[in-house]
Amino acid sequence: MKDYGFIRVAAAVPVVKVADIKANVDEICALTDKAEAGKASIVLFPELSVTGYTCGDLFGQRLIADAAWDGVLRIMEFTAGKSVAAVVGAPVRHNGKLYNCAVVLHNGSIKGIVPKIWLPDYNEFYEARWFSSGRDFLSGNTDSGISPNLLFRIGKAVFGIEICEDLWTPVPPSSYLALAGAQIILNPSASNDVLAKHTYRKSLVSQQSARSVCGYVYCSSGFGESTQDLVFAGTSMIYENGIRLASNKRFGTESSITFADIDVERLDTLRQKMNTFGAVAPDGTSHTAYGKLYREISLGETPETDFRTRLYRHIDAHPFVPEANSPEADKRCSEIISIQMTGLASRLAHIGCRTAVVGISGGLDSTLALLVTALAFDKLGWERKRIIGITMPGYGTTDRTHDNAVGLMEALGVTAREIPIAAACDRHFADIGHDRNIRDVTYENSQARERTQILMDVANQTGGIVVGTGDLSELALGWATYNGDHMSMYGVNASIPKTLVRHLVGWAAENRFGPDAVPGSGKSAKEILEDIIDTPISPELLPADNDGKISQKTEDLVGPYELHDFFLYHFFRSGYSPEKIHFLACKAFEGKYDSQTVGKWLETFIRRFFAQQFKRSCLPDGPKVGSVSLSPRGDWRMPSDARPDIFLSGLKDIR
């Protein structure tokens, strides 16, 4: 079975009986069984889960410490023959001191013991009253098996452990553990709940997983802990690089177990790309704050897990698009357009433009470019009449797109011009000796270049620049005519993929335009934008069908843009192999595209992406909006003659 770079982890919150070690061990063993059945490689339990966190001065009783250790040994024996590594919280006596520890148990043995470093001694917490700090072990070697400086390798993953309060410190131990090679951090915790604390706690875990580029498994005490003064909600949550993968329902009265599949391969790729990650540590494996090397302990291989059957992880089918109806969706759309608009406004002001020229087709890309241009002029306090929108009907222009183009320009109050190109193209075909009845690439590209020539010349004529309309998806596929729509003087959509273009136009229709009808058309700007969204994507370079409708549909030719945007995101951002991209796409689009269809268009994407690099090597300037950009000046530097063979070979077994 192929693991695709994933490792399954679990966070288990047992119902606790304070100081009833036998009952607690029984519950931990039952949950360990569930983790094993669920094919988890690691299961994490809360802080001091063997005894209960709220034992108070009972921790000073030798009987409790001895019984707790016996309980740990029972759990150790229970793990014999199992693949899952269990990490349990227990008080551990060592050299006459008591330590709050996480004990790593695997296949019938104790693999290591990690003591808590930072002990709270304030408000309701008085841990320093009973426990000694794990700092005691920082100056010695790690061969004793008890140390904060232990790393544990299981399969392809390395994990480290910090305990509860350790995370809340200015520089958490997990920062050093990550620099030492841990891709996953485990945090057995006992964090009580007061108003708004959970929000801050989530923020801490999210930010630490993002800053350390790691998976972070957090598991806190729950029902059964003493409520004499505090309440524990039993929080478990699993994050990866700032994103929540899974969490449980808090304030439950029964034990719970939460699974998630962490993508270790992705974390390794992100760390590799982020050269500042390792640069902050003197040698990448140690840190002067510890002054010693970490010790890595091997736990063997992970259990065989069929991730194709069940993946504990949400795969977003549209990774570029804000989640619908989420609290952040409106803010993200506003910020994206603000970045585009500010970039263009700065360029216009810098070069002292009198006008901006935009080719308006009635399609999505030119619509977004015109909206951004109008907002840029508003920001600069310039009249929108200085924007020259030009619609250039040709052989394939339909009434629907033409009317939408004209109506949109009227709605925005820009200067509208109409310059048909059919006669000019006929003359050009005569000049070069091309039969206009032969509808080949010459027939199509001549129209695109004629339109670009018009835009460039009008920009010269009016003292302006041409605002480009091409988007990120088209750049990835090379779906643009070289020196035609491929070229402009500033490309505002260069970092916006097609799925996001559609979303932004829809957002503008809902949030920026009212119901007032456009004079002469009977439609409001919102209605025009909504109709543009519903129009099939097409370059309209071939004549319409007998019903006057669009005959040349882009997605019929190169494939669905939602698939290509998915491929682009994971190829660029995560460095995934085609095989893994195919696997994830089949999960994300399950029920919509079958495996063969995904494989077909993935092959198209790879072939076109490599063959069309020469177009991306000479792109005009444009604002970077998201984490994926194909600008040759910084984000994507690739030789135009690179071969795709090694990438295509990986598709043979899945097609």
CA-CA-CA-CA torsion sign (263, 264, 265, 266): positive
Q: What share of the chain is helix, strand, coil (3-state, %, to 5)?
A: 40, 15, 45
- In whole angstroms, how far apart are CA 277 and each of 169, 186, 214, 360, 629? 20, 20, 11, 45, 21
Which token pair is 200? Answer: 């801050």
Q: How far apart are CA 500 and CA 517, in angstroms?
A: 27
Enclosing H/E stretch for 24: helix 21-37
State the DSSP code for 320. T
Q: How many CB atoms lie within 10 A of CB 386?
A: 19
Is the separation of the CB atoms in 417 and 390 below 8 Å? yes
Question: Is 624 part of the annotated catalytic residue set?
Answer: no
Residue among 138, 147, 148, 214 nearest 181 (CA)? 214
Question: Is 47 part of the annotated catalytic residue set?
Answer: yes
Which token pair is 8? Answer: 């399954």
Is the separation of the CB atoms in 418 and 390 below 8 Å? yes
Q: Alpha carbon 79 to chain centroid distance?
A: 35
Is the separation of the CB atoms in 103 and 92 below 8 Å? yes
Question: Is 301 part of the annotated catalytic residue set?
Answer: no
Is the separation of the CB atoms in 290 and 536 below 8 Å? no
DSSP H helices in 413-488 = 422-432, 441-462, 472-477
CA-CA-CA-CA torsion sign (178, 184, 189, 194): positive
Label each residue of 115-144 as H, E or C.
Answer: ECCCCCEECCEEHHHCCECHHHHCCCCCCC
Catalytic, out of 36, 47, 162, 540: 47
Is the separation of the CB atoms in 50 and 17 below 8 Å? no
Catalytic, out of 55, 101, 164, 214: 164
Catalytic, out of 39, 82, 116, 498: 116
Separation of first and last alpha carbons in the chain: 18
Residue among 280, 207, 272 nearest 240 (CA)? 207
457 Cβ contact list (under 8 Å, min separation 6): none
Q: How far apart are CA 424 and CA 447, in angstroms?
A: 9
Which residues are tagged catalytic? Answer: 47, 116, 164
